[in-house]
Amino acid sequence: MEIQKLKGQVALVTGADSGIGKGVALAIAKAGAKVLVNYVHNQEAANEVVAEIADTGGEAFAYKADVSKEDEVQAMFAAVVEKYGALDILVNNAGLQKDAKFVDMTLDEWNTVININLTGQFLCSREAAKMFIKRGPVDGVSRAAGKIICMSSVHEIIPWAGHVNYAASKGGINMFMKSIAQELAPHKIRVVGIAPGAIQTPINKAAWDTPEALDKLLTLIPYNRIGQADDIGKLAVFLASDDADYITGTTIFSDGGMSLYPGFADNG
């Protein structure tokens, strides 16, 4: 039997009813942690994730909260502690795109993406950090008092015309993650980023749902395959586990080489 590296721990995964968040919730549950499956709109999908976790012997519950609303985030963190008694791992995954040419982008499109992708991670991380600091590390559970994983994107470094709100939010996540990692390390709290490349989820359906679109996408991926939610799930389990106990304040790219500037590959 596989060793359950997160046994006895509790995780909260935002936006866990779909795509990468779902993959992360399933992988973390398989590694032995109990999981709060956060959703904002699709309760049925969240319940399915909970059922899938239960089917494989894990424990989870679904919880509705908008990560950009302070009162809803605070209520969600109270709920996970009420249900499971503690929190060990936060995965800040919820995010969206509202694409527009820069000159046509409305203030609402800008604010919505920044509020959910960046401020949402601020609100959730602050609640988690307060809990982790109050409790401290627990012997036999984890060497760290708590772990915070921030879902970023290759667009924290790759500029993205037509998506300035999204790229700015992910660039912001990089400095957000590093700054709180510096501040929280003395409290034995680790903070890390994950920068996925192209992962096959509803957020980027247009980029993979026809053979032509997929071919075009693959020209950007030297490793020549689109990523799957499970690729990120396995990475999240590693980063949350004590195997990664000396890793904090950095972003791990899981992108099949998308950030290697593949346009330069035959230009030597």
Stretch that binds ligand NAD, among 35-43, 53-61, 98-106, 178-186 (CB under 6 A): 35-43
Stretch that binds ligand NAD, among 61-69, 81-89, 126-134, 259-267 (CB under 6 A): 61-69
Closest CA to 241 of 61, 32, 14: 32
Among 13, 36, 63, 68, binds ligand NAD (CB under 6 A): 68
| Given 39, 63, 84, 166, the catalytic residue | 166
Among 153, 241, 248, 251, binds ligand NAD (CB under 6 A): 153
Q: Record the tokens describing residue 7, joined without a space.
A: 């046994």
Choice between 132 and 166, CB closer to ligand NAD: 166
Counting Cβ atoms within 10 Å, is residue 181 exposed (0-12), middle (13-18) or buried (19+)? buried
Residue 146 sits in the site that holds ligand NAD (CB under 6 A): no
Please provide the distance, in angstroms rounded to a whole number, between the alpha carbons at the two ends of the chain: 48
Residue 15 sits in the site that holds ligand NAD (CB under 6 A): yes
Active site residue 63: no
Q: Record the tokens describing residue 65, joined without a space.
A: 């909260």
Among 18, 142, 248, 251, binds ligand NAD (CB under 6 A): 18
Q: Record the tokens describing residue 48, joined without a space.
A: 């399915």
Residue 47 sits in the site that holds ligand NAD (CB under 6 A): no
Q: Record the tokens describing residue 73, joined without a space.
A: 């985030």
Based on its alpha-carbon atoms, the radius of gyration of the chain, rounded to whole angstroms, reads: 18
Do the Cβ atoms of 260 and 222 come closer than 8 Å?
yes
Residue 201 sits in the site that holds ligand NAD (CB under 6 A): yes
Choice between 142 and 170, CB closer to ligand NAD: 170
